[in-house]
Structures are given as structure tokens and as C-alpha cells.
Amino acid sequence: MKFRLKSSDQVSGFLDKGTNVTGELEFAGTLRIDGNFHGSISTGDILIIGEHALVHADIKVGEIEIHGQVNGRIEAKRRVEITASGRLRGDVHTPVLGVSPGGVLDGRIQMAGDHPADETTIAGRSLTPQQRTHQERD
């Protein structure tokens, strides 16, 4: 599963290999990072973490595609994609998560959805808190 950019979408910013940036980054459009970044990143749009990137940040995005290394929490409104070369160490909150064979995710995952916060599903079947407690003991 890869992000397909429409012809109207173009990378509007780029931090190249060898670049070191520390701070708070906010942007609109599509940004690609191939260098080192430390801090926080926020956008409603698309962030691409290149193969050579090393990012230590809390990230809030619309969509993110990870080819390099990310350490930190990610909150994505639409989707998170970890490719075969991608490495993520941190918690993820997103409605759609894709991890290609070879990709690494070391953290907790919270999938946003239509289920209430106290409801758990197993094999498409909702469990009540009592059933969930019983299931955890088994």
C-alpha cells in the first residue's frame, strides 16, 4: 500500500540528507524529510519520512509515509504507512495502518473507529467490559 500523489499534489518542502533541524515544524501541503529532525511536527496534510531520515518527534499529521526511522508518538487523521525500510518506535493513533513486510513498529497502536472507547472487538464481534475481562483471563 503506497500513497499515490495526485497530479495536483507536489512536494512543497524538502529537508535533504545532511540537514539537522531542531524545533517545532508546522506546514501545509506535502513535506519530505531525508535529514535529521528533533522536536514536533504538525500538519493536516502529508509527511514523508525518507530512507535516510532520523526523526525524534511527536507528530500530528493527516497522513504519513515512513521509509526511514521515527522515534516518537504519531497521531494521523487519515493513515500511517510503514514501508519495508521504515522503522517506528513509538505509539500510533490512526484509523488506517499499513506495515509492509520488513517494516518495524515497536509501540502501542490505537485504531480510531466508530466503536465507543469502552468497547473491544474480536473477530468482528463486540465485547462488553465483562466479556473483555473474562477474555483477558483466558
Over the stretch 2-24, which tens digit does the pLDDT of each residue have?
A: 444 433 357 778 888 989 999 99
The more confident residue out of 126 and 65 is 65
3-state secondary structure of 72: coil
Count of C-beta atoms within a 10 Å radius of residue 35: 18
pLDDT of residue 9: 55
Instruction: Report residue 85: phi and psi, to 5°.
Output: -95, -5
Per-residue pLDDT for 51 more than 60? Answer: yes
What is d(CA 37, CA 86) in angstroms, rounded to the nearest whole number? Answer: 16
Q: How confident is the model over 89-97, as a mean pLDDT?
A: 96
The more confident residue out of 5 and 47 is 47
Per-residue pLDDT for 80 more than 60? Answer: yes
